[in-house]
Structure 1
């Protein structure tokens, strides 16, 4: 399989699992912190999964680059401090960096562990999408992709209050993938989709303090699935 082009997320995930000594789906799920069904879903050719909101954690567990696992772009090996320093030395830039601030430079360049497949802050222009307010969700036209500002930390630390979710009503929900749901009372929640049995499913948070929502108990309806998100821009620091 290594000689074949790995053109899909499933193929890259399958290859990476083989390279990790044939790690099992259940063991990978344990390391990532998801249910085995989530990994099984990603490996099912019939599902044609395009990615996962846990791509960064999966990549870390398998020892591959999150960018490569998500899109096939770039090297398969993850970027590390050592490889980054080697690249800086080769370019001649390392000598210009004060050793005392190198750790902070690496932290900025490498970034925190996150789902790089979905952080669209710098990935593409999304200015044409309409921004919907939470109070208008019951009356707004939600038949096409739209933006919605995140108002809580239920999906933190990856997606936190102040981020902007990009939601697609036509996208099918996938396990451990964020969805916008509405309960029978007209309340809306942005949570991870978790498949159940007998047609039931749940909308669950990633952080404590948010109770799971059962589809039957709360009369949940999926409004849209997340297609990506944008992080809030950091305010510019004044120079005194």
Structure 2
């Protein structure tokens, strides 16, 4: 009986909260759920009475909250479909990751660690020549905006507002240095300048920037970024899939930790590897 009284009191309080938040009068809500106004008044009056399941469901639907929340079985008022829609979102993505969504996510994560697996090399560490070569056909006249966006991300890192950990496969750097695969056709001078820039930035920004090189024969990752503890984003090419559910963000963070643990070259070793690639050009 004590539990029933507590649950009834919580139901009354939450029903009143939802009505106030939605600007819903007793008369309007009674019409929406198909009961008399006196019935609704009784539900809002002190007592131990709980409504039947149909009335709870109709009231929840009319007020845009969940039945579980009204009954004290859930902490958040949003219905499950709305909660999922907020927890997982699909957003259009540009060819080069420099749009307002990316910038907003970086600002949102200020002060937190940002973990990143790039689609190729990390955009914010690329030279202007590499950006123009890589994105010229896709971006046309907006290549300059992409460069400005990447420079803004690098300035954000230099401002020490977030730590960055970046993991990328060993074969990506090897193909870049050799000018093969995806990087076929990129002039030697541009590849040399890019390796020089990576070496310089890896030295200059450590430990705020830490690079890890993993072996894709042992572990694998899609392009993904974890913006602190509250947001993780997977890049699909035309879209971002963003997750705000704490369990999913934690799982993707654990995936990044797995890449780091398996990496044969840690943050202290990357500079030497980059210098060896540079010497072999």
Question: Normalising to structure 1: TM-score of the pair?
Answer: 0.31
RCO higher in structure (CA 8 A, sep ≥6): 2
Question: Normalising to structure 2: TM-score of the pair?
Answer: 0.27
Q: Structure 1 or 2: larger helix share?
A: 2
